Structure 1
């Protein structure tokens, strides 16, 4: 799989030429004549800021030039590691909501804590199962993408990586924030998923919004249904 120019998405064979350790020359894109990927010489914080600002070129650097298909084939289990991190952060989000509802505290009994953990597992796995089922259907119908396993691997990886905003939930372990902050982070995750999907599929923004919004909506309503079932 070729690398991509972060400016115009044109395929390039290599991103830089290394003459000696620490001495490299960035390759220019043959299509737009700009440096193919200037993030190679940038600090990680610059990349993170551009990701937070939802700049498509930052997502192209991350998805095409860092986590490209060759890397996935060499580093076995990378996709599963991202999936585990994705589910763990969802579990932490669930516990934060329960803490704000005063269901989780130092005085919670063992039986109650076990019941809360069971609810958490049911909510996380059932909600995300429906999320990815809906995401697969919507990308197939709205984006007209191929249904090969490798293609779905790229799409799922884009969702896992672009959900990095969930990491900011860890800040709530140190500082007290209202529950509304959790839903603000959810909105940032949704918008980041949309940009990543647009970058990886090169489809229109409206179609990417429809695909991601429908998947997140199904996950939200599934969680609400699970809460009602478990509360009854």
Structure 2
């Protein structure tokens, strides 16, 4: 359902002006294939979403630079066209998130020389189980902290669509984990894993701020707490297993 252009900044996945966050009815008018006119925002009078005419690489660079405009384009205007398939997007994003997180845990364990102790199939199986439990338990703690904070800060009652939108924002803003795959090709110190974690935290913060309209300082504190809880939970699990 298209947003009300007079309703101001939206709470859900609706069309927005990437500059001021004001709701817009449409982003462009298409006269013929390849011939479009970008619409202007009624609030700030600027082009509502200039990213429509940009290559994906330009958008990706602006996401890396943590530009709020790029995150508004991604979370509202780009995903808006696929809201009917948000469950499919969530499923694929969650699967990729868990796979990359499992790879991250395996890199941390490699740095701790955990893989060097594998002398049998039994030991290999046990280590794989540890990685799986670490990923599942750590992310359970991470999501639990976020959900609790969302309910307290936004005073949300159970709203499945709203929670899906917030969850999608968290998953897609964790794209920095992809850079860990470079460690399969080139040799990097294990500290790179924690540098990537810092970028994931900052990206999560920007995306969460955009999707909830909370203050940046509040989002930083929230995600620092959630990531710290996940780290401590993972460390505790490693000592127990």
Q: 1:36 aligns with which of 34, 48, 53?
A: 48
Distance 2:96 2:103 in 1: 11
TM-score (normalizing by structure 1): 0.93
Decide whether the 8 Å contact of 1:138 with 1:214 is kept in 2: no
1:194 and 2:205 aligned? yes
- Aligned residue-pair number: 229
Decide whether the 8 Å contact of 1:51 with 1:59 is kept in 2: yes
Q: CA deviation at 1:130?
A: 1.0
Match of 1:153 in 2: 164
Equivalence map 1:81-230=2 (5 Å): 81-104=92-115, 108-230=119-241
TM-score (normalizing by structure 2): 0.90
**SS of equivalent to 1:17:** strand
Q: CA deviation at 1:98?
A: 2.1
Q: 1:210 to 1:145 in 2, by over 3 A?
A: farther
Decide whether the 8 Å contact of 2:118 with 2:124 is kept in 1: no
**SS of equivalent to 1:34:** coil
Question: Residue deviations 1:38-72, cap 9 Å, x none?
Answer: 1111111111111011000000000000112x623
**SS of equivalent to 2:199:** helix
Q: 1:48 aligns with which of 60, 65, 81?
A: 60
Q: Which moved more, 1:177-186 or 1:133-142?
A: 133-142
Question: Residue deviations 1:103-130, cap 9 Å, x none?
Answer: 3269752111100110011100011111
**SS of equivalent to 1:67:** helix
Match of 1:11 in 2: 23
Equivalence map 1:56-95=2 (5 Å): 56-68=68-80, 71-74=82-85, 76-95=87-106
Distance 1:183 1:108 in 2: 28
**SS of equivalent to 1:46:** helix
* Stretches of structure 1 lacking an aligned partner (at least 5 in a row): none
Question: Residue deviations 1:95-153, cap 9 Å, x none?
Answer: 11222233326975211110011001110001111111110001222344454111111
Q: Which moved more, 1:103-112 or 1:41-50?
A: 103-112
Q: 1:123 to 1:228 in 2, by over 3 A?
A: same
Match of 2:38 in 1: 26
Distance 2:157 2:46 in 1: 31
